[in-house]
Amino acid sequence: MLKKTGIPTQADLQEVYPRPERLAQGPVAVIECFQRIPCNPCATACQRGAIQPFEDINDRPQLDVDRCNGCALCVASCPGLAIFVVDETYSEDQALIKLPYEFLPLPQEGKIVAALNRAGEKVGEGIVVRVQNPPAFDRTAVIHLAVPRELASDVRNILVEGEPHAER
C-alpha cells in the first residue's frame, strides 16, 4: 500500500511507533522512514546517539527510544520530512506534535490550524505553540502543535486555512 499511495499501513506504523510505556515518559521521535534509500542526516544530527549509526548508507534509521529526548534536531534534518516528535505528556488532554514544515507563510504562534493526517485529510484542529526556524534548520521549520491526545498518532501536517501557501 505504501508504494502505491505513499501512505503507510497500520502494520508499517507498528514497526516504527514507540510502545505506550515509552510514550508515557515524554517526548520521543517517530521515524516514518519505510524504504531503504541513501540517506543519513538524521543520524548525524542526533547529538544523543538515539539514532543508531548506519552500517550502510541505505539502511533505515533505527531509534533507541530510551536515548531520545524529543529535541527535534532530526525532524529538521530529514530531507524526506519523515520524522516527527510526539509528546503525549504535554498536558492532561493534549499531546504536542513537533512536525517539519516547508511552506510560507509560517503559521503564527497561538494560531488555530487544521490538523491533517498522513492522507492530507482534516482530522481536527491544533494550536501552534511554537515555531522553530533558525538558519541551521536550512528552511525546514519545526512546528510545535498541540492537538487532542487521541490524535497524537494521526496528525502529521497542518493547513493554515485562509492563507495561500508557497513552497519554501
**First-to-last C-alpha distance (Å) of the chain:** 29
Provide the pLDDT confidence category of residue 162 given band limits of 50, 70 and 90. Answer: low
3-state secondary structure of 50: coil
Rounded CA-CA distance 157/153 in Å is 12
- What share of the chain in percent tops pLDDT 90? 76
What pLDDT sits at residue 16? 79
Look up cell 509528546; give the residue: 87
Q: Is the pLDDT of residue 163 over 70?
A: no
Provide the pLDDT confidence category of residue 39 given band limits of 50, 70 and 90. Answer: very high
Rounded CA-CA distance 72/27 in Å is 9
CB-based contact 146:96 (threshold 8 Å): yes
Q: What is the pLDDT of residues 103-138, one digit of tens each?
A: 989 999 999 999 999 999 999 999 999 999 998 888
Q: Look at residues 74, 95, 94 and name the one whose alpha carbon lies nearest to residue 84.
A: 74
Please name every residue paired with 51 in a beta bridge, in sequence order, or none if there are none.
63
Q: Where are the beta strands (DSSP E) in 68-156?
A: 83-87, 94-101, 103-104, 112-116, 122-132, 141-148
What pLDDT sits at residue 14? 82
Q: Is the pLDDT of residue 9 over 60?
A: yes
What pLDDT sits at residue 94? 98
Provide mean pLDDT across the span 93-110: 95
Q: Is the pLDDT of residue 167 over 80?
A: no
Q: Is the pLDDT of residue 143 over 90?
A: yes
